[in-house]
Structure 1
Amino acid sequence: MLGMTALPHLGGFYGGYITRKEVKNWYPTLQKPSWRPPNAAFPVVWTCLYTGMGYGSYLVWKELGGFTEDAVALIEIMLLTGTVGATMVSWYSISRTATLLMAPYLSWLCLATSLNYCIWRDNPRGKRRVGHLFCVLRIICTFS
């Protein structure tokens, strides 16, 4: 619970870290409406919002039964595959060569994802424990 509640704050801290110089130099020069809250209100409000988002996600996760231990590796590799694909899309307009250099990695991840899915699908619950899937994932990633 604590981890999921705190997780959104990491994004907030990171965003604050990235924009801290611009906010100090650029933001004060902008014309702002008279109804704008005072500067001191922003960290308090964002802290409350992030805490609510994190705790709310925990409540939904808990209500849905959390992650089943036999699907964690499959979820992880699916997210990794999607992230690599999204990276390639974002790189295409910058460098087609860089995008193409990622194609073998994406292909290998698609194979590994398919393999993990088939193992998950074709084995009874007791045999497809997270340890087995992580083992397969790590072996595939080691040789890639």
Structure 2
Amino acid sequence: MKNRSLSISLLLVFCIFIPLIIGFIGSFFTMTSVTGWYLTLNKPWFTPPGWVFGPAWTILYILMGVAWWFVLRNGIDSPSVKTATMWFLVQLVVNLLWSLVFFGMQSLLGGVIVILILILLIGITMLSFSKVSRESVILLIPYLCWTLFATILTISVYLLNSTM
């Protein structure tokens, strides 16, 4: 019993660690642009202050990890868990891709395209998680909401800075 508790605890740490690492990697692309290029852009009135993003994303990555843990606890060999994990990891890579495209490549239109794909993938992930764990879906709701807000923000920044 003690070994099972340790295994479950280590799995939780692993599940939280992976999204946090992705966020950490993404922050490298963000930090190089946020103090230069990003400051030159026109932004909508509802843009949050810069200090909000770090804590918000940290909390969201932790919630994502815990959600994934709820899924994995149902048996890693289960086909529905494997499918849910695949979608989770795909959306996590696209999450990282947004930072690379928007901040790293400084592509506003590319950022819009990537974040729209991300919204779709979060929805697919939530649907696949729902087949395994109700708690996992609930834990992803703040991530979906924040990403919807980020989508509106990204589209607004694109529109305010495009030379149609």
TM-score (norm 2): 0.38
TM-score (norm 1): 0.43
Identify which of structures 1 and 2 has the higher relative contact order when contacts are C-alpha pairs closer than 8 Å and 6+ apart. 2
More helix by share: 2
